[in-house]
């Protein structure tokens, strides 16, 4: 294996990481900066993804890989010029909802097109109803920019900028973020050109072939170790207006895997639908974690995973379905896929977890309109527990499959007039098992004096909690309520009046294996720490201590 | 004044003594059980060599990895943490993310204080410091009695928003003082009064955790020094690159983290000043890791928080973030002892696993079977097998080649030389990538920097690294083997205070800010003045600012510390300038706010005599050697010259090797090396001379 090719591969991964770093630093959007909701990658002239940065968003894996092909089709290779920058936020051609803007920049060497840099980021606003599941069609969710030229031979398309500016709530930030996206591709190109100078080559094709061959071989070798067969699995989740059935069929034949979602429920009237590209991203992420985690993301590493969902299902929504908060269903996809894979590879994958993030966007409104109190928006990212692993407990209050981070409560309280009275682990919420599920958390929030809160609930695993595996118990279901005992709905717009306190009890992860087989000292330690109550330890784990 | 610098490292304890006759240095083996024994031995040996009596010592300046090691090894005592009801699990929930995306069997670092030892009290402050829920003194007393009755050796207290109002933390502190006066209690509003509960709680907990150990150690050290006949005051190097008294260090030991590397950065900064290098990249490569730091205008870049005790491959997020002033450094798992292997995709991988000094690289022939970076350097002719460590450790090229063939070459179909080339290129590539990203994160172009290379491994790799980074000049200072200890002697006495005081510019309250800054300055001054011994001091104020709605701040250096009516306009202008430097643009029409303030008082940096750069000179002759020049992908005939034989102005054109006891400087074909008047080697790219 050529050493130069290895060094260049290594360099390309550094180049896309640098591209992503540039974007994280310059983007305004909180979800980019705090949650890593972005992606960045390099493609060869044929549109094959050669390298992709590892960011907080598995939802962009695959989606990113497919996007450049759409741009090539729409723009036409022959019309591409140096200094061009292309853009779209089409959910079906990008990464699943209008809030993600994808920017693609062609790279030329000696006037010859040799590849593309692409990047995607979640922007603060895209007009329409604002970020939430309420729309019934994508048209209500905001502005859709078809694949178009943001810059033509270095000249920015002023008309397009004006359209964006006129259609979003935070024009300065949104347009600024589009420039950031273009700048991050530029930073990547500069490094790539320097590398090509250093290695005295004018082409990416040989290197791309090398990367493809090594990645393909490693991925296929990993898949070949999975026993051949057809494995099906089903999971019911809360959904929006009705429970959603997710059905999956995995077929392993030699060194290929197909994953199909036939039998899955139809679309929702609300914005929790996933374009197929987003479903593929999360299904593929789950399979890759379990089967070939060490192979870097590129087209060849993803290609052996063939993922399909029937058009018109909630996992392959048809235009013009609303898709704004497609992450809620998308985050649950890995659980059902891993459930099927468990039948092929016992003792490998975790039990089901809370999985869907419990993000909450809170609008703080003065109770008295005549008061001079300002309106404020607060966004919090929160995670429940992950499923127990075959040899390890689940992770408490930790995001999976998403890779996002939470924000400091002190910083959040500086942003808006709320008080977070509690944000701590939720005892007895981890599913019982030889390995215990990760704990969820309890969050209590009230408005400061003079304010009431509105929030858009998009919480799952309240009616259908995370199931355990191999005899493990289920994680505690989620609950949404006021501390005075008023029960609230898990989906939809609701309010918290002045003086009241909202309590979110986030779901726990499922357990793994028979609780009776759990190490007695581990149960005692859980009781001492308060992860498990003494009563539960007796009842569920059969701990006979007097303590 | 006769001053003595002491750096305790993983393998060696380095002692440097500056006396009227010059500088004496000694290396002795670190004594893990009783570090002070090695220090005393080292000081005695050095003083004897210099002909100085211990009673003549004027100052002892000390840096230690004790704090870092205690946190990594978790060797602290049982401790209790007291926090706000509803927030018992802040340190366990961390930022709720996974630092490694694709590992289903990920293990998160265990919190330093287990849940059963974390206690809560009903109380609450608002972000503005108003009491939302009062603290009940009876509940405090009951809890304090309960904790005092158990076998806790140390206690940390951290309440929400205590940076805005410390009253409740103080109440708890006072109850402990009264009920359990011997129990050391650290409170977060004292140790790290900055907004963001996770780093603040981590910091106060880390402080409390190491306090008993550090206090006992410093006590023993001072006693031993007294017994040995010196009453010189002892100063400790802190992570921010300055000195604090031993008494302060015993109370706030968390400030001692990473003091050795900070000394190295100060050492490099001294050479940057002497050589008039405005932008320097310090590159310190040892046995297990390499450290990179940006030095601008003669001062190492600092930050207000950093991550310690990473548990997984030096990966970001696998440790704990503490907020304490620190010289900002990037550390990567790449050193001479880093082990090379082949990954699942058939690619060469180097580090972060290290063979350490025991068994060490395969070429040491002390049982190490795995090929390391040192083995690769030896195989490529970059190290002299007979002259390593002054000839004290004979190296076996044959053993190195055998290990490379077995673990890298066979899988790749490569001979030992090609495998070795792959290994060194890969490690240089990793370091170059880390340096590039670090520069980008700071809004800088790495090409604009001059590299300052020190530590055993750096001179071997510096020229190649510079080639990869597009850097035109590399300075290799003398005495690089004890760089950190020399840096201690050049560090200012300094103290930094931080304070979370949130201010939006459109509602800026100058009176409140001025009063807070005055208190901060008085506090910092109190710590510095004792050690400053009448020297003038410099005060530096940094506001950590952002646009409203952003979740992160950028540091903005301010030239004024008293604010009047024009404060919002001035602060905005300073913020925009800093924002533009970092991000290349500003955002019009958005509100701007300040989250935290940091103020430091320091004695001035010691003046450095300017060294006039020599760029040409007499060509020095050497004996013939061959080594592999990575950029040319070819073995080249090189000149080997002993560093000791070079006089100022002597020139050695690459390819060449300049040898010394501790290491060798590789001058690749692209560089020319000129000996400078202060004993430094300056490597200049030939196309720039």
Give the separation between CA B446 and CA B75, rounded to whole angstroms: 39
pLDDT at B489 over 80: yes
The residues that bridge with B453 in the sheet, in sequence order, are B283
Q: Judge whether A452 and A501 are in contact, CB under 8 Å.
A: no
Closest Cβ–Cβ partner in B106, B345, B588 for A172: B588
- A30–B549 CB contact, under 8 Å: yes
- Section A41-68 average pLDDT: 87
Coil, helix or strand for A454? strand
Per residue in B399-428, pLDDT (tens digit) is 999 999 999 998 888 888 999 999 999 999
Tell me, what's the pLDDT at A41? 94
Nearest Cα to Cα of residue A29 among B550, B546, B575, B589: B550
- Measure the CA–CA gap between B102 and A294, rounded to whole angstroms: 8
Number of domains in chain B: 4
Which residue is associated with the tokens 């509803």?
B86
How does B463-492 read in b/e, with b if 16+ C-beta sit within 10 Å? bbbbbbbbbbbbbbbbbbbbbbbbbbbbbb
pLDDT at B332: 86
Half-sphere exposure (Cβ direction) of B444: Cα atoms closer than 13 Å: 21
pLDDT 10s digits, A364-417: 999 998 888 988 888 899 999 999 999 999 999 999 999 888 889 998 998 889
| Residue B540 shares a structural domain with residue B579 | yes
Q: Are residues B553 and B588 in the same domain?
A: yes
Which residues from chain A sit within 8 angstroms of residue B470, using beta carbons?
Answer: 194
Residue among A14, A33, A293 whose CB faces B103 most closely: A293
Of B458-467, B479-488, B638-647, give the lowest mean pLDDT range. B479-488
Cβ pair B547:A28 closer than 8 A: yes
Q: Does the pLDDT of residue B70 top 90, yes or no? A: no
**For residue B374, what pLDDT is reported?**
93
Query: Hunting for tokens 């072939």 — which residue is that?
Result: A209
Best of A353, A409, A507 to substitute, by most chain B Cβ atoms within 10 angstroms, is: A409
- Out of B426, B445, B465, a domain closes at B426
- Cβ atoms of B59 and B530 closer than 8 Å: no
Kindly report which listed range (A110-119, B222-231, B526-535) carries the lowest average pLDDT score.
B526-535
Q: What per-residue confidence (pLDDT) applies to B530?
A: 78
Within a domain: residue B289?
A: no
Degrees to nearest 5, angle at CA A35 with A31 and A36:
95
Q: Convert the pLDDT of each residue in A80-109 to its tens digit.
A: 999 999 999 999 999 999 999 999 999 999
Is A531 within 8 Å of B115 when comparing Cβ atoms?
yes
What is the per-residue burial (b if ≥16 Cβ within 10 Å, else e) of B317-334?
Answer: bbbbbbbbbbbbbbbbbb
Do residue A7 and residue B347 have CB atoms under 8 angstroms apart?
A: no
Residues B219 and B173 in one domain: no
Distance from CA of B130 to the nearest CA of A (A): 12
Mean pLDDT, chain A, as a whole number? Answer: 93
Query: B233 and B176 in one domain?
Result: no
How far apart CA A172 and CA B547 sit, in angstroms, is: 12
Rounded to whole angstroms, the Cα distance separating B607 from B354 reads 39
B441 lies in a domain? no
Q: In chain B, which residue's Cα lies nearest the Cα of A212?
A: B345
Buried residues in B195-205 as b, exposed as e (16+ CB within 10 A): bbbbbbbbbbb
Whether the CA torsion A11, A14, A20, A21 is positive or negative: it is negative
Contact yes or no for A466/A383 (Cβ under 8 A): no
Distance from CA of A220 to the nearest CA of B (A): 11
Evaluate whether residue B678 is within a structural domain: no
Helix (H, G, I), strand (E, B) or coil at B260: helix
Structure tokens at B233: 């005051």
Strand partners, B685: B671
**CB contact at 8 A, A259 and A308:** yes
Query: How far is the C-alpha of A212 from the C-alpha of A82, rounded, in Å?
Result: 26
Q: Do B430 and A10 touch (CB under 8 A)?
A: yes
- Rounded to whole angstroms, the Cα distance separating B561 from B514 reads 7
What pLDDT does B603 receive? 92
Mean pLDDT taken over chain B: 91
The answer to whether residue B616 scores a pLDDT higher than 90 is no
Beta strands B243-245 and B234-237: pairing type? Answer: antiparallel
- The CATH number assigned to the domain holding B185 equals 3.40.50
Contact A111, A78 (CB under 8 A): no
B195: closest chain A residue by CA: A410
Find out whether A109 and A195 touch, Cβ atoms under 8 Å. Answer: no
Reported confidence tier of residue B689, pLDDT bands at 50, 70, 90: low
CA angle (B410, B415, B418) in 5-degree steps: 110
Percent of chain B with pLDDT over 90: 67
**For residue B317, is pLDDT > 90?**
no
- State ipTM: 0.94
**Chain B interface mutation, best of A414, A426, A444, A449, highest count of B Cβ atoms under 10 Å:** A414
Q: Determine whether the interchain pair A528/B433 forms a contact, defined as Cβ–Cβ distance below 8 Å.
A: no
Q: What is the CATH number of the domain that holds B21?
A: 3.30.420.40
Give the pLDDT score at B602. Answer: 93
Buried b (16+ CB within 10 A) or exposed e, B29-41: ebeeeebbebbbb
pLDDT (average), residues B557-561:
90
pTM of the predicted protein model: 0.93
**Residue (of A25, A257, A336) closest to B439 by Cα position:** A25
Q: Has residue B511 been placed in a domain? A: yes
Rounded CA separation A286/A273 (Å): 19
What would the pLDDT profile of B571-604 be if each residue is shown by its tens digit?
Answer: 999 999 998 888 777 877 788 999 999 999 999 8
- pLDDT number for residue A1: 55
> Strand A256-260 vs strand A244-253: parallel, antiparallel, or unpaired?
antiparallel
Cβ contact, residue pair A28, B550, below 8 Å: yes
Q: How confident is the model at residue A56 (pLDDT cuts 50, 70, 90)?
A: low
Instruction: Tell me which of A474 and B26 has the higher pLDDT.
Output: A474
Of B205, B240, B275, the domain-final residue? B240
Report the range out of A31-35, A431-435, B481-485 with the highest average pLDDT.
A431-435
Residue B88 C-alpha, separation from nearest chain A C-alpha, in angstroms = 6
**pLDDT tens sequence across A442-472:** 999 999 999 999 998 889 999 999 999 999 9
Predicted confidence band of residue A504 (pLDDT cuts 50, 70, 90): very high
Domain that holds residue B343: 338-426
Closest residue to B587, CB basis, from A34, A176, A348: A176
- Assess whether B191 and B225 both reside in one domain: no
Nearest beta carbon to residue A389 from set B105, B161, B443 = B105
Q: Which of B197, B443, B582 sits opposite A409 (nearest CB)?
A: B197
pLDDT tens-place string over residues A531-545: 999 999 999 999 887
Judgement on whether residues B155 and B224 belong to the same structural domain of the protein: no
3-state helix, strand, coil in chain B (%, to 5): 35, 25, 35
- Quick one: pLDDT at residue A546? 55
The shortest C-alpha distance from B6 to chain A (Å) reads: 38
pLDDT for res B385: 87
What local confidence, expressed as pLDDT, does residue A227 receive?
97
Q: Are residues B82 and B67 located together in one domain of the fold?
A: no
Residues of A in Cβ contact (< 8 Å) with B589: 172
User: Do B30 and B8 lie in a common domain?
Assistant: yes
pLDDT average, residue stretch B430-436: 92
- B675-678 contacts at long range (C-beta below 8 A, 24 or more positions apart): B675/B614, B675/B617, B675/B646, B675/B647, B675/B648, B675/B649, B675/B650, B675/B651, B676/B275, B676/B475, B676/B611, B676/B613, B676/B614, B676/B648, B677/B611, B677/B612, B677/B614, B677/B648, B678/B274, B678/B477, B678/B478, B678/B611
Confirm if B423 and B405 have CB atoms less than 8 A apart.
no
Q: Could you tell me the maximum CA-CA distance found in chain A, to the nearest angstrom?
A: 80
Q: Give which of B489, B571, B494 is closest to B538, Cα–Cα.
A: B494
Residue B391 above 80 pLDDT?
A: no
CA distance A266 to chain B (A): 30
* For chain A, domain boundaries: 3-215, 350-547
Asked if B155 and B221 sit in the same domain, the reply is no
Last residue of a domain, one of B582, B602, B622: B602
Alpha carbon distance B26, B437 (integer Å) = 36
Domain match, B33 and B122 both: no
End-to-end CA distance of chain B: 41
CA distances from A413 to A29, A31, A456, B285, B551 (A): 18, 17, 19, 43, 12
Residues β-bridged to residue A244: A237
- Report which DSSP code applies to B617: -
Burial of A142 (0-12, 13-18, 19+ CB in 10 A): buried
Query: What phi and psi, each to the nearest 5 degrees, are found at residue A441?
Result: -140, 160
Q: What is the CATH number of the domain that holds B537?
A: 3.30.1490
| Range list of β-strands (E), B184-337 | 185-187, 234-237, 243-245, 279-285, 290-296, 299-300, 302-303, 306-308, 320-322, 326-327, 330-332
Among A52-56, A425-429, A465-469, B109-113, the range scoring the smallest mean pLDDT is A52-56
């Amino acid at each position: 294996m050529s050493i130069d090719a290895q060094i260049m591969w290594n360099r390309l991964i550094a180049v896309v990481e640098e591209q992503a770093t540039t974007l994280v630093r310059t983007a305004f959007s909180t979800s980019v900066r705090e949650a890593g909701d972005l992606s960045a990658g390099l493609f060869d002239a044929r549109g094959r993804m050669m390298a992709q940065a590892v960011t907080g968003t598995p939802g962009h894996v695959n989606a990113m890989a497919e996007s450049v092909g759409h741009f090539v089709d729409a723009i036409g290779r022959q019309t591409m010029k140096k200094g061009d920058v292309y853009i779209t936020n089409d959910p079906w051609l990008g990464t699943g909802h209008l809030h993600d803007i994808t920017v693609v920049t062609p790279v030329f060497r000696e006037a010859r097109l040799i590849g593309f840099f692409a990047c995607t980021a979640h922007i603060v606003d895209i007009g329409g109803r604002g970020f939430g599941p309420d729309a019934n069609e994508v048209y209500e969710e905001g502005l859709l920019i078809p694949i178009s030229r943001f810059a033509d031979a270095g000249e920015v398309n002023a008309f397009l900028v004006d359209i964006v500016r006129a259609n979003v709530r935070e024009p300065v930030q949104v347009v600024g973020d589009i420039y950031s996206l273009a700048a991050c591709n530029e930073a990547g190109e500069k490094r790539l050109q320097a590398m090509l100078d250093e290695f005295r080559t004018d082409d990416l094709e040989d290197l791309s072939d090398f990367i493809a061959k090594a990645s393909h071989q490693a991925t296929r070798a990993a898949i070949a170790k999975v026993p051949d067969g057809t494995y099906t699995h089903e999971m019911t989740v809360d959904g929006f207006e009705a429970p959603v059935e997710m059905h999956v069929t995995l077929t392993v034949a030699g060194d290929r895997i197909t994953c199909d979602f036939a039998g899955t429920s139809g679309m929702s009237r609300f914005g929790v639908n996933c374009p197929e590209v987003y479903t593929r991203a999360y299904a593929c992420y789950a399979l890759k974690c379990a089967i070939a985690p060490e192979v870097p993301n590129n087209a060849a590493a993803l290609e052996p995973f063939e993922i399909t969902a029937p058009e018109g299902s909630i996992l392959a929504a048809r235009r013009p379905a609303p898709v704004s908060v497609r992450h809620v269903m998308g985050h649950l996809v890995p659980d059902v896929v891993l459930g099927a894979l468990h039948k092929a590879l016992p003792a490998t994958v975790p039990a089901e977890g809370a999985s869907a993030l419990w993000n909450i966007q809170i609008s703080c409104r003065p109770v008295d309109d005549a008061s001079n109190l300002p309106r404020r928006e607060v966004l919090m990212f929160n995670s429940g527990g992950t499923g127990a692993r075959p040899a390890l407990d689940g992770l408490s209050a930790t995001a999976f499959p998403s890779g996002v981070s939470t924000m400091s409560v002190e910083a959040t309280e500086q942003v808006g007039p709320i008080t977070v009275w509690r944000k701590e682990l939720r005892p007895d919420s981890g599913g019982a098992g030889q390995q215990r599920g990760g704990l969820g958390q309890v969050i209590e929030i009230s408005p400061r004096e003079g304010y009431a809160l509105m929030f858009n609930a998009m919480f799952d695993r309240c009616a259908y909690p995370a199931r355990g595996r191999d005899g493990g118990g289920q994680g505690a279901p989620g609950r949404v309520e006021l501390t005075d005992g008023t029960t609230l709905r898990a989906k939809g717009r609701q309010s918290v009046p002045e003086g009241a306190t909202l309590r979110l009890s986030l779901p726990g992860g499922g357990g793994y294996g028979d609780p009776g087989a759990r190490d007695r000292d581990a149960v005692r330690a859980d009781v001492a720490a308060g992860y498990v109550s003494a009563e539960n330890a007796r009842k569920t784990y059969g701990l006979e201590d007097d303590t | 004044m006769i001053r003595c610098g002491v750096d305790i490292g993983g393998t060696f304890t380095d002692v440097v003594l500056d006396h009227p006759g010059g500088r004496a240095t000694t290396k002795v083996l670190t004594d893990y059980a009783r570090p002070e024994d090695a220090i005393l031995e080292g000081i005695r040996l050095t003083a004897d060599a210099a002909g100085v009596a211990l009673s003549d010592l004027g100052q002892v300046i000390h840096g230690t990895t004790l704090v870092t090691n205690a946190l990594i090894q978790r060797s602290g005592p049982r401790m209790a943490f007291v926090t706000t009801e509803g927030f018992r699990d802040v340190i366990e929930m961390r930022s709720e993310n996974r630092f490694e995306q694709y590992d289903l069997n990920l293990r998160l670092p265990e919190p330093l204080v287990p849940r059963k030892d974390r206690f809560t009290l009903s109380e609450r402050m608002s972000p503005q410091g108003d009491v939302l829920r009062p603290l009940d003194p009876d509940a405090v007393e009951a809890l304090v009695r309960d904790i005092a009755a158990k076998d806790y050796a140390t206690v940390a207290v951290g309440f929400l928003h205590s940076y805005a109002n410390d009253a409740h933390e103080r109440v708890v502190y006072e109850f402990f003082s009264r009920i359990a006066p011997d129990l050391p209690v650290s409170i977060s509003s004292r140790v790290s009064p900055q907004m963001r509960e996770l780093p603040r709680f981590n910091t106060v907990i880390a402080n409390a955790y190491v306090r008993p150990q550090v206090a006992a150690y410093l006590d023993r050290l001072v006693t031993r020094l007294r017994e040995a006949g010196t009453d010189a005051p002892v100063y400790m190097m802190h992570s921010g690159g300055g000195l604090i008294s031993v008494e302060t260090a015993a109370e706030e030991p968390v400030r001692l983290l990473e003091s050795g590397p900070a000394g190295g950065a100060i050492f490099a900064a001294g050479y940057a000043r002497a050589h008039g290098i405005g932008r320097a990249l310090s590159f310190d490569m040892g046995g297990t890791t390499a450290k990179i730091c940006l030095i601008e205008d003669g001062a190492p870049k600092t930050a207000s928080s950093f991550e310690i005790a990473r548990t997984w491959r030096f990966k970001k997020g696998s440790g704990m973030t503490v907020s304490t002033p620190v010289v900002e450094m990037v550390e990567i798992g790449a050193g001479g002892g880093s082990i090379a292997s082949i990954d699942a995709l058939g690619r060469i991988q180097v580090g972060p696993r290290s063979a350490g000094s025991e068994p060490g690289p395969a070429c040491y022939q002390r049982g190490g079977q795995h090929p390391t970076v040192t083995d690769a350097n030896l195989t490529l002719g970059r190290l002299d097998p007979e002259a390593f460590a002054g000839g004290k450790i004979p190296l076996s090229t044959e053993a190195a080649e055998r290990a490379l063939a077995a673990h890298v070459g066979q899988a790749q179909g490569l001979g030992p030389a090609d495998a070795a080339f792959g290994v060194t290129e890969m490690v240089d590539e990793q370091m170059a990538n880390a340096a590039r990203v670090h520069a980008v994160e700071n809004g800088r172009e790495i090409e604009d920097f001059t590299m300052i290379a020190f530590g055993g491994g750096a001179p071997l790799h510096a020229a190649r690294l510079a080639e990869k980074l597009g850097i035109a000049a590399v300075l290799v200072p003398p005495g690089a083997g004890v760089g950190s200890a020399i840096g201690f002697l050049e560090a200012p006495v300094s103290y930094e205070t931080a304070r979370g005081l949130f201010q939006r510019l459109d509602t800026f309250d100058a009176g409140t800010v001025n009063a807070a800054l005055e208190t901060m300055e008085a506090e910092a001054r109190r710590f510095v003045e004792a050690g400053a011994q009448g020297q003038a001091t410099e005060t530096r104020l940094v506001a950590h600012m952002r646009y409203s709605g952003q979740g992160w701040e950028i540091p903005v250096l301010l030239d004024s510390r008293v604010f009047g009516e024009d404060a919002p306009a001035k602060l905005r202008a300073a913020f925009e300038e800093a924002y533009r430097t970092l991000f290349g643009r500003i955002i019009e029409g958005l509100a701007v706010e300040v989250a935290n303030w940091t103020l430091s008082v320091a004695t001035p940096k010691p003046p450095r005599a300017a060294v006039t750069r020599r760029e040409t000179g007499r060509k020095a002759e050497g004996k013939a050697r061959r080594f592999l020049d990575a950029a040319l992908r070819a073995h080249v005939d090189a000149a080997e010259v002993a560093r000791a034989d070079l006089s100022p102005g002597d020139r050695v054109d690459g390819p060449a090797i300049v040898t010394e006891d501790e290491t060798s400087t590789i001058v690749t074909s692209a560089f020319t090396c000129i000996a400078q008047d202060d004993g430094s080697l300056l490597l200049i790219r030939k196309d720039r001379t």
